[in-house]
Amino acid sequence: MLDINQTLLIVDDSPENLTILSDMLQPLYRVRVATSGQKALRIAVTAPYPDLILLDVMMPDMDGYQVFQQLRSVPATAEIPVIFVTAMDSMEAQLHGLDLGAVDYITKPMNPAIVLARIRIQLELKQARDWLRNQNSYLELEISKRMAENELIQEVSIRALAHLAEARDPETGNHILRTQGYVLQLAQLLRDHPRFTGTLDDHYIKLLARSAPLHDIGKVGIPDAILLKPGPLNAEEWAIMKTHAKIGSDAIEMAERDAAEAVEFLSLAKEIAHWHHEKWDGSGYPDGLVGDAIPVSARIMALADVFDALISRRVYKSPMPVDKVQDIIAAGRGQHFDPDIVDTFFAHFSVFCGIADRHRDPAE
């Protein structure tokens, strides 16, 4: 099907050849002409852009091969199909042109019917390539859009689950936002540390931050009388409170089993929920893990969780001043917390205080 809106650029240093080709093509296409390689390169990047270029090989100053290489070196013209037009009818010359990347090779003197047929074929092929490229771009855009929607749904679902635990303990307020911010920042600061660089890549950090709000999901299984008690828990109550770690990881594990495919962030969420109360010296719960046996995700979460608990108001305590918080965390270095994580935390302490201020609870 002919398309008068398609544009052809004819490049030839001979006015006579330009006239012959123009007369042949103008009834069917929009035709632009250039009498030199330099002019052709300028015209090729100005509207209306050529859909096909007929390029003479034998030209002074810059021959057709040089023009072709210049066209291919510029993104705006690299995909424009080029047909070489020349009086050189040797097989070597034709193969050279095709090897460079030309779509066809027409020899002079030209047979109008053959020239028109070859041009039509190449324009139809270009239309097909453009259509496929547009379809691919559309599909890529749709896939990107769907992935963004899925990520948003996942984020909202995580927040909804985290708020279930938060709703049981309303004084935790913006705790999940603050701890998520601490975890993300701390992981990014630790990523170049020799002990953590093999674990904390961009993908892991993204999943870690996404998982962090689920660290206390197990508190939905703790009775209100214990969860909301305005004072110290007795030994029996404390034993029940500590079960929230396993309750949370068990719930996430059941969700994993129900999923048709593996969901990466759930494995990290399960680690965090289960082990964020473990301590570096092995005195934590539920499994008494020691040192590097505690997953990196849980070690980072442990410090983030304790820091936020210390600076925040709870039903059983008032918020502590920052210097007191620093003293407590420093005392826990090498006992409660991974020493290197504490050192990085203190080296950027003002950053974490800033996160706390940005997500301060309304009542404070």
| Tokens representing residue 307 in the block | 């820091």
Average pLDDT over residues 51-60: 93
Backbone torsions φ then ψ of 11, nearest 5 degrees = -120, 115
Average pLDDT over residues 96-106: 86
Nearest to 96 by CA among 84, 87, 108: 84
Confidence (pLDDT) at 172: 53
Quick one: 127 and 28 in the same domain? yes
Please check whether residue 161 lies inside any domain of the structure: no
Quick one: 206 and 110 in the same domain? no
Quick one: 177 and 237 in the same domain? yes
Please check whether residue 296 lies inside any domain of the structure: yes
- The percentage of residues in the chain with a pLDDT greater than 90, rounded to a whole number, is 59
Confidence (pLDDT) at 92: 79
| Tokens representing residue 347 in the block | 């080296």
Confidence (pLDDT) at 159: 65
Confidence (pLDDT) at 154: 66
* Structural domain span for residue 131: 7-139
Q: How many residues does the chain have?
A: 364
Confidence (pLDDT) at 1: 45
Residue 241 has pLDDT above 80, yes or no: yes
Please check whether residue 163 lies inside any domain of the structure: no
Which of 120-124, 129-133, 140-144, 289-293 tops mean pLDDT?
Answer: 289-293
Please check whether residue 41 lies inside any domain of the structure: yes
Quick one: 134 and 193 in the same domain? no
Report residue 362's pLDDT band, with 50, 70 and 90 as the boundaries.
confident
Residue 3 has pLDDT above 60, yes or no: no
Instruction: Write out pLDDT tens, residues 108-128.
Output: 888 889 899 999 999 999 888
Q: Which residue has the tokens 């990523």?
A: 191
Instruction: Write out pLDDT tens, residues 166-212.
Output: 666 655 558 888 999 999 999 999 999 999 999 999 999 999 998 89
Please check whether residue 54 lies inside any domain of the structure: yes
Average pLDDT over residues 61-83: 93
Quick one: 259 and 346 in the same domain? yes
Distances (CA, A) of 46 to 60, 226, 332: 23, 75, 68
| Tokens representing residue 100 in the block | 């460079």
DSSP 8-state code for residue 309:
H
What is the C-alpha to C-alpha distance for residues 246 and 285, in angstroms, rounded to an integer?
A: 10
What is the C-alpha to C-alpha distance for residues 34 and 42, in angstroms, rounded to an integer?
A: 9
Which of these three, 96, 124, 139, is where a domain ends?
Answer: 139
Report the DSSP beta bridge partners of residue 337.
333
What is the C-alpha to C-alpha distance for residues 284 and 288, in angstroms, rounded to an integer?
A: 5
Quick one: 178 and 318 in the same domain? yes
Please check whether residue 153 lies inside any domain of the structure: no
Say how many C-beta atoms besides its own lie within 10 A of residue 331's C-beta: 11
Please check whether residue 162 lies inside any domain of the structure: no
Confidence (pLDDT) at 360: 86
Confidence (pLDDT) at 297: 97
**Number of domains, the chain:** 2
Q: Which residue has the tokens 């969420």?
A: 269
Which of these three, 122, 139, 156, is where a domain ends?
Answer: 139
Beta carbons of 208 and 267 less than 8 angstroms apart:
no
Q: What is the CA radius of gyration of the chain?
A: 35
Residue 355 has pLDDT above 90, yes or no: yes
State the average pLDDT for the chain: 88
Nearest to 172 by CA among 359, 28, 351, 302: 359
Quick one: 87 and 218 in the same domain? no
| Tokens representing residue 53 in the block | 């270029």
Q: Which residues of 67-92 are buried (b: 16+ CB within 10 A; e: fewer)?
A: bbebbeeeeebeebbbbbbbeeeeee
Quick one: 129 and 183 in the same domain? no
User: What is residue 288's three-state secondary structure?
Assistant: coil
CATH number at residue 102: 3.40.50.2300
Quick one: 182 and 38 in the same domain? no
Quick one: 188 and 286 in the same domain? yes
User: What is residue 33's three-state secondary structure?
Assistant: strand
Quick one: 348 and 215 in the same domain? yes
Report residue 2's pLDDT band, with 50, 70 and 90 as the boundaries.
very low
Quick one: 100 and 175 in the same domain? no
Please check whether residue 278 lies inside any domain of the structure: yes
List the 82-86 sheet strands across, edge first: 30-34, 7-11, 52-56, 82-86, 104-107
